[in-house]
A = this chain, B = another copy of it.
């Protein structure tokens, strides 16, 4: 029953997210594709080539099935069946001054009695804007604080550790929050977590609309666009090498197009690309570190 209710709420939020993003973009429209596989069903909403948004994917899924060896390995639990529902989204802007943003909220239930919430929101700018970074963290913190004052500090550190590329010694962006295996202790606690994840998912498109409003009109040079594409290469590296959602999706034979919609359209890899010391690009690299106290 908890899975069904969570699914209904997440599914509704998916529609709201798409609506708000269409408004913010002004011309881009989402196409909606429902999918059904043995494992369950989902709805993939994708906008490509909007006026500001280059690619946005907003996925909802509701799956269940037999718990297999791969999942046991990935989750470190044993069970016979599982059910899971989640909403996930990534938005890539064509304008290098509008960051990439990511959201994921999910609820898992195993037939061994174990159930938990997981998720996160994080921001990945090609150019770090300090005011926007602080406001982003403050907004997330304010929501978390209303539920538990301990959530933000713990989950902010978790995001720093999770959204990290060890082979580049860089964080993916300026972080946000990440949490996993938050087991509700009772039904009240479940309701609390459901409300929190719903609020975080609901603020997500509002935050992005503001980022578009602030930066979407800014002019940029070809060199700045190239820098954005190179930074996106790091994003692809993270998603394909480390991201658990991608791994889980591929391992459970999820919908490939829905999983890969997280990848930006245009990406570049340049060997030994080092920005000029003192440049805006070099400054951004200075902020891609763990443990920066943004609020």
Residues of A near any B CB (own CB < 8 A): 33, 46, 48, 55, 57, 166-168, 233, 236-237, 240-241, 250, 253, 256-257, 259-261, 263-272
Contacts and interface: CB of A to CB of B under 8 A. Distances in A.
B269 A168 contact: no
Nearest to A237: B240
A-B pairs with the 7 shortest C-beta distances? A240-B240, A263-B269, A167-B256, A267-B267, A46-B271, A261-B271, A167-B250
Contacts of A166: 250
Contacts of A167: 250, 253, 256, 259
Contacts of A250: 166-167, 241
Q: How many copies of this chain are found per oligomer?
A: 2
A166 B259 CA distance: 14
A266 B166 CA distance: 24
Interface majority SS (helix, strand, loop, mixed), chain A: mixed
A269 B267 contact: yes
Given A167-B250, A233-B263, A257 B240 contact: no
Given A55-B269, A263-B269, 6 more contacts: A166-B250, A167-B250, A167-B259, A236-B267, A260-B269, A261-B271
Contact of A269 (B264, B268, B272): B264
Contact of A236 (B57, B236, B253): B236
Nearest to A247: B241
Contact of A265 (B240, B270, B272): B270
A265 B265 contact: no
A257 B261 CA distance: 26
Nearest to A270: B265
A268 B266 contact: yes
